[in-house]
């Protein structure tokens, strides 16, 4: 990586050729024919210490913002997972109550004379429990 930076720094301070071919302008590090115009490239000046400090502060602020965003996203993902688990548990509970109601209704239909009232009461209570736990 360091060699690449040194090589690009040396190339930046060298000569660049501006070529016009067919109405298009392109830039190369070697002459591209008789229509090449040599341009002297100069290395960029070193940034001022104040600019470097400002850049470091801005990078630190950006990192804080990114960390806060990542924390919010992680919290939102945990919350989505919690809500999904709660919804699945509620669905299981409602399915169980529906099944119990179905069984109670079947028992009430099959009950004999002596057991009929008790079975109807049980079926009614199951229906009420289902209505309370699982509206709609």
- What does the pLDDT look like over 27-36, one tens digit per residue? 888 888 776 7
Tokens of 11: 């190339």
Q: What DSSP element (H or E) covers 73?
A: helix 49-110
Tokens of 118: 């008790």
Better-scored residue on pLDDT, 14 or 30: 30
> What does the pLDDT average to over 75-82?
97
Q: How far apart are CA 54 and CA 110, in angstroms?
A: 84
pTM of the predicted model as reported, rounded to 2 decimal places: 0.50
Q: Is 16 a residue whose pLDDT tops 90?
A: no
Are 52 and 77 within 8 A, CB to CB?
Answer: no
The half-sphere exposure of 31 on its side-chain side, counting CA atoms within 13 A, is 6
* Predicted local confidence at residue 13, as pLDDT: 55
Q: Is 53 a residue whose pLDDT tops 90?
A: yes
Strands (E) in 60-122, as ranges, are none
């Amino acid at each position: 990586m360091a060699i690449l930076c040194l090589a690009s720094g040396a190339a930046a301070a060298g000569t660049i050729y501006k070529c016009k071919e067919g109405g298009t302008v392109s830039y190369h590090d070697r002459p591209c024919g008789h229509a090449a115009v040599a341009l002297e490239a100069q290395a960029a000046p070193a940034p001022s210490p104040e600019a470097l400090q400002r850049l470091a502060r801005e990078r630190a602020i950006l990192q804080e913002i990114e960390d806060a965003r990542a924390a919010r996203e992680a919290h939102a993902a945990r919350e989505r997972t919690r809500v999904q688990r709660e919804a699945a548990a509620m669905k299981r509970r409602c399915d169980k109550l529906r099944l119990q109601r179905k069984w109670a209704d079947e028992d009430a239909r099959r009950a004999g004379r002596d057991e009929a009232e008790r079975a109807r009461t049980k079926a009614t209570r199951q229906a009420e429990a289902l209505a309370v736990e699982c509206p709609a």
